Amino acid sequence: MASLPISFLLTLCLFVIPSLSSDSDPLQDFCVGDLKASPSINGFPCKSSVSAADFFFSGLAVPLNTSNRNGVAVAAANVLTFPGLNTLGLSMNNVEFAPGGVNPPHSHPRATEAGVVIEGSVFVGFLTTNNTLFSKVIHAGEMFVVPRGLVHFQWNVGKGKARLITSFNSQLPGSAVLPTTLFGSMPEIPNAVLTKTFRTDDATVNNLKSKFAV
């Protein structure tokens, strides 16, 4: 078998190596995002003048209101709320749960998620692309990881409230929440698609859409 040309192997490496990370590597010490400017392909243009305040954020310390249908609330520290993260390839969330609260099945298309339980007991699970569920109840001080793009959820199974701090290897990981995506999209997904997909009828689909209407 003939060996591959060195030039081909070098070209292959140039394409493969960048794919191992999430966001692109920064080319300077920092680039505090100018949110008033139009976004570039990857992030925001840099502010022309920065101060110490650009590198600190207190938004994860604010108590959250979990009195909603899912019993969960999220405070995000990403480039849109904390512009100092611009080009740095990371972000964090504070996630708080009422007793029995559920962070519904969702995915982050641009990031792997790692999290630690700060308070309570949380049932954490994710699904692989061959429909295998990996799950466990974890407690304060314990950690979990969800590979990039996989569907996952969290459920407060303790008697009191629960809290997670999660981190992502993207300044803006994105979140596709399955129930809202499928039944609350605008424009709507045609009923014919959903009835066929879920093997149900129009009445059931319309009922679900009414629960997730914007």
- List of residues 6+ apart from 104 with CB closer than 8 A: 70, 153, 177, 178, 179
pLDDT reported for residue 18: 46
Cis ω before 187 (30° cut-off from 0): yes
Which residue in the block uniquely carries the two structure tokens 């295998």?
Answer: 132
pLDDT reported for residue 41: 67
pLDDT, one tens digit for every residue, the chain (214 residues): 455 565 544 444 444 444 445 677 776 788 899 998 876 667 889 998 999 999 999 999 999 999 999 999 999 999 999 999 999 999 999 999 999 999 999 999 999 999 999 999 999 999 999 999 999 999 999 999 999 999 999 999 999 999 999 999 999 999 999 999 999 999 999 999 999 999 999 999 999 999 998 7
Residue 106 among known ligand-binding residues: yes
Residue 103 among known ligand-binding residues: yes
Q: Which of 56, 156, 48 is nearest to 99 (CA)?
A: 156
Residue 152 among known ligand-binding residues: yes
Would you say the C-alpha torsion 179, 146, 172, 101 has a positive or negative sign? positive
